[in-house]
């Protein structure tokens, strides 16, 4: 099996060819794929004809099943959710703001696996922003300022009853369940260290970061706005174009992502599995 890697022109992102994900993979291939993922942060496998069971098997190669709060899984597959939008939907695009999946959890996930089932002929790209590159580009004084700070994360803007996907979010085909649980907060280091690569990265995002612990509200707000603008600026962004039968996996520890529209009048359907952070779970004394 010859695995071919085609890197993008951006600081993250690669296409991987020569791997058939509909078949079980050897330990050697799994190790190679994992290293390609860690090196490139976002990897896509085009031309894959996969069942739900194939996607589940591949995700387990990358790590244990993760949690998907607030979204109902598909019947018979409790760890698989659908990113769905019907042709006649008019509401806001799901996940259009920059975020790292579920960064508001006590242990955020390591990765996300997403498979394109129905891809519209136009629009629907996903944007990714490399947070290792974003950190590296900070000035020495800003790096010193951020060291030791904790960011406060919460799901409230999206999934509380008053949030974007709350009680007033009508006509959406995705099965989202808002909850008062979304008001909870958790703190994570604003500058994280990747537990597999050792690289430092910014770990804040527009969707789920609501403050910085220990800073006055105005100072926290101003600093976050500066970081939000920096971390998603053009030098760090990769625009990913989908194809039907493409499986894409990204590292939630080191990239942000955002959905885009532009496919009005067309159906779009993808299946997603969250991959838990095994190392972080073991360090916290939790079973992986």
Overall CATH class of domain 4-283: alpha beta
pLDDT at 284: 86
pLDDT at 288: 65
Answer whether 70's CB lies under 8 Å from 182's CB. Answer: yes
pLDDT at 1: 67
> Each residue's pLDDT tens digit in the chain (288 positions)?
699 999 999 999 999 999 999 999 999 999 999 999 999 999 999 999 999 999 999 999 999 999 999 999 999 999 999 999 999 999 999 999 999 999 999 999 999 999 999 999 999 999 999 999 999 999 999 999 999 999 999 999 999 999 999 999 999 999 999 999 999 999 999 999 999 999 999 999 999 999 999 999 999 999 999 999 999 999 999 999 999 999 999 999 999 999 999 999 999 999 999 999 999 999 888 876
pLDDT at 144: 98
What pTM, to 2 d.p., does this model score?
A: 0.97
């Amino acid at each position: 099996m010859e695995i071919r890697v085609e890197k993008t022109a951006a600081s993250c992102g690669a296409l991987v060819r020569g791997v058939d994900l509909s078949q079980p993979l050897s330990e050697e291939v799994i190790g190679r794929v994992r290293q390609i993922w860690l090196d490139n942060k976002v990897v896509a496998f085009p031309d894959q004809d996969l069942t739900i069971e194939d996607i589940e098997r591949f995700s387990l190669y990358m790590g244990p099943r993760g949690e998907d709060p607030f979204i109902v899984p598909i019947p018979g597959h409790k760890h698989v959710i659908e990113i769905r939008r019907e042709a006649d939907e008019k509401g806001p695009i799901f996940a259009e703001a920059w975020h790292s999946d579920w960064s508001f959890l006590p242990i955020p996930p390591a990765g996300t696996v997403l498979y394109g089932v129905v891809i519209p002929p136009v629009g629907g790209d996903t944007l990714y922003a490399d947070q290792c590159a974003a950190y590296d580009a900070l000035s020495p004084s800003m790096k010193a300022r951020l060291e030791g700070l904790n960011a406060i994360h919460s799901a409230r803007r999206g999934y509380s009853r008053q949030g974007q996907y709350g009680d007033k979010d009508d006509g959406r085909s995705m099965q989202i369940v808002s909850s008062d649980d979304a008001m909870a907060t958790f703190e994570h280091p604003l500058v994280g260290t990747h537990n597999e690569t050792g690289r430092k990265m910014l770990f804040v995002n527009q969707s789920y970061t609501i403050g910085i612990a220990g800073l006055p509200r105005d100072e926290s707000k101003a600093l976050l706005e500066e970081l939000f603008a920096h971390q998603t600026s053009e030098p760090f962004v990769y625009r990913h174009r989908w194809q039907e039968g493409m499986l894409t996996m990204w590292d939630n520890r080191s990239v942000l992502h955002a959905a885009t529209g532009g496919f009005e009048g067309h159906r779009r359907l993808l299946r997603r599995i969250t991959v838990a952070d095994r190392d972080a779970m073991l360090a916290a004394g939790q079973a992986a």
